[in-house]
Amino acid sequence: MSHRVLFIPLALFSVLAVALLWQLVRNSDGDDPMRLESALIGKPLLLNVWATWCPTCRAEHRFLNMLAAQGVRIVGMNYKDDRVKAVDWLKELGNPYAMSLFDGNGMLGLDLGVYGAPETFLIDGRGIIRYRHAGDLNMQVWQETLKPLWEQYSR
């Protein structure tokens, strides 16, 4: 019985990763799904859900720029937002994202179980979501939670 309980999160994360790719295939506003698939494979990455209407996203953005400058791969998902405002935001505040996805209608977020912005997912080198953090990503969250997982999945 305990083996089944341990299998449930792994199965859920695998389904979410497939849902992420499938949503991009059917969402003409998203980046090329082959490009995303190649970004997901090999090394871990952070998938950061953000929006221009989210004040907490603005607060975490400087930290994301710092992580990206240190070599942390981050994919941004602009959630339920206006594309023009999102592009202007990234021009103004800097773009920490190796790749940007646009989820204007929130369907990809729905597939991932997003409650709101900001949220950050740690995806391993096989494309499996290993951790979900709701709220802003800051130095404390990085040092205590995500960095140890990042290092574990970077091996």
Say which residue, 43 or 137, is predicted with more confidence. 137
Torsion of CA 145, 148, 149, 154, to 10 degrees: 150
Q: Could you give the maximum distance between any two Cα atoms of the chain, in Å? A: 52
Q: Which residues contact 138 (CB under 8 A, 6 or more apart)?
A: 60, 63
Q: What is the mean pLDDT of residues 81-103?
A: 94
pLDDT at 27: 41
DSSP string, 51-80: -TT-HHHHHHHHHHHHHHHTT--EEEEEES
Q: How confident is the model at residue 86, as a pLDDT?
A: 95
List the CATH number of the domain containing 91.
Answer: 3.40.30.10
Q: How many folded domains does the chain comprise?
A: 1
| Strongest mean pLDDT among 6-20, 65-79, 107-121 | 65-79
Is residue 63 a contact partner of residue 142, using CB atoms and an 8 Å limit? yes
pLDDT in tens, 35-57: 666 666 788 999 999 999 999 99
Q: Which of 10-14, 100-104, 143-147 has the lowest mean pLDDT?
A: 10-14
Q: Which range among 35-39, 45-49, 104-108, 131-135 shows the weakest confidence by mean pLDDT?
A: 35-39
Domain containing 147 equals 2-154
For the entire predicted model, the pTM comes to 0.77
End-to-end CA distance of the chain: 30
Q: How confident is the model at residue 127 (pLDDT cuts 50, 70, 90)?
A: confident
Contact status, residue 136 vs residue 51, Cβ threshold 8 Å:
no
